[in-house]
Structure 1
Amino acid sequence: MNATGCTVTPFEKLACPLDGEPLQRAGNIWTCAKGHSFDVARQGYVNLLPVQNKRSRDPGDCKPMVVARQAFLTEGYYQPVADAVAEAVLSDTEPSAELNCLDAGCGEGYYLRQLAAHAQSVQALNLIGLDISKWAVQSAARQDKQMSWVVGNNANLPVLPATIDRMLCLFGFPVYAEFLRVLKPGGRLLMADAGADHLRELREIIYPVLKPSRPPKKEIPEGFLQVATRQVRFSVLIPDAQQISNLLMMTPHLYRASADGLGKVEELTELRVTVDVRLTVLEKASNVA
Structure 2
Amino acid sequence: MNTSPFQALACPLDGKPLTPSDSAWCCPAGHSFDIAKQGYVNLLLVQQKRSSDPGDSKAMVAARRRFLEAGHYQPIAEVVSRAVFDHAEQALPRDTLFSCLDAGCGDGYYLRELADAAASQTSLALMGLDISKWAVQAAAKQDNKQHPHSRWVVGSNANLPVQSGALDCVLCMFGFPVVDEFARVLKPGGLLLQLEAGSDHLRELRDIIYPTLKPERASDVEPPAGFASLGSEVLRYTLTLNDAETIADLLVMTPHFYRATTEGREKAAALGEITLTVDVRVVRWERI
TM (normalized to structure 1)? 0.95
Q: Any idea what the Cα deviations from partners look like across 1:116-139, whole Å, max 9, x if unmatched?
A: 111117431000000000000000
Identity across aligned pairs (percent)? 56
- Does structure 2 conserve the Cα–Cα contact (< 8 Å) formed by 1:93 and 1:121? no
Q: Which residue of 2 aligns with 1:57?
A: 52
What is the alpha-carbon distance in structure 1 between the residues aligned to residue 79 and residue 68 of structure 2?
15
For structure 1, list consecutive stretches of 5 or more residues without a partner in the other structure.
none
Shift of 1:198: 0.1
Report what 1:132 is aligned to.
131
Cα separation, 1, equivalents of 2:212 and 2:103: 33
Residues 153-198 of structure 1: per-residue CA shift (max 9 Å, x gap): 0011000010100110011111111111100000000000100100
Give SS of 1:154's match.
coil
Quick check: 1:203 aligned with 2:206? Answer: yes
For residue 255 of structure 2, the aligned residue among 248, 252, 256 is 252
Give the SS at the match of 1:70: helix
SS for the counterpart of 1:91 is: helix
Counterpart of 2:111, as a letter, is L
Correspondences of 1:70-219 after superposition (within 5 Å): 70-94=65-89, 95-120=94-119, 122-144=121-143, 145-219=148-222
Q: Secondary structure at the match of 1:12?
A: coil
Q: TM-score, normalised by structure 2?
A: 0.95
Q: Do the aligned residues in 1 keep the contact of 2:87 with 2:191 (CA within 8 Å)?
A: no
* Equivalent residue, structure 2, for 1:23: 18
1:241-288 Cα deviation digits (max 9, x unpaired): 011000001211111111111110010011110000011000001xxx
Is 1:221 matched up with 2:224? Answer: yes
Deviations 1:68-113 (A, max 9, x none): 0000000000000000010111114334232000000000000000
- Give the unaligned 5+ runs of structure 2: none
Deviations 1:204-263 (A, max 9, x none): 111122222222222210110010201011001112101100000121111111111111
Please report the RMSD computed on the Cα atoms of aligned residues, expressed in angstroms. 1.0
Native 8 Å contact 1:17 1:50 kept in 2: yes
- 1:231 is matched with 234
Matches for 1:35-50 after TM superposition, within 5 Å: 35-50=30-45
* Alignment match, 2:244: 241
Structure 2 counterpart SS, 1:34: coil
Pick which of 130-139 and 94-103 moved more: 94-103
Q: 1: distance between equivalents of 2:270 and 2:19?
A: 53
Aligned length: 280
CA distance in 1, matches of 2:45, 2:262: 36
CA distance in 2: counterparts of 1:106 and 1:81, whole angstroms: 14
TM-fit CA distance, 1:35: 0.4
Task: Give distance in 2, aligned partners of 1:121 and 1:78.
Answer: 24
Partner-residue secondary structure (3-state), 2:172: strand
Cα distance in 2, alignment partners of residues 174 and 65 from structure 1: 20
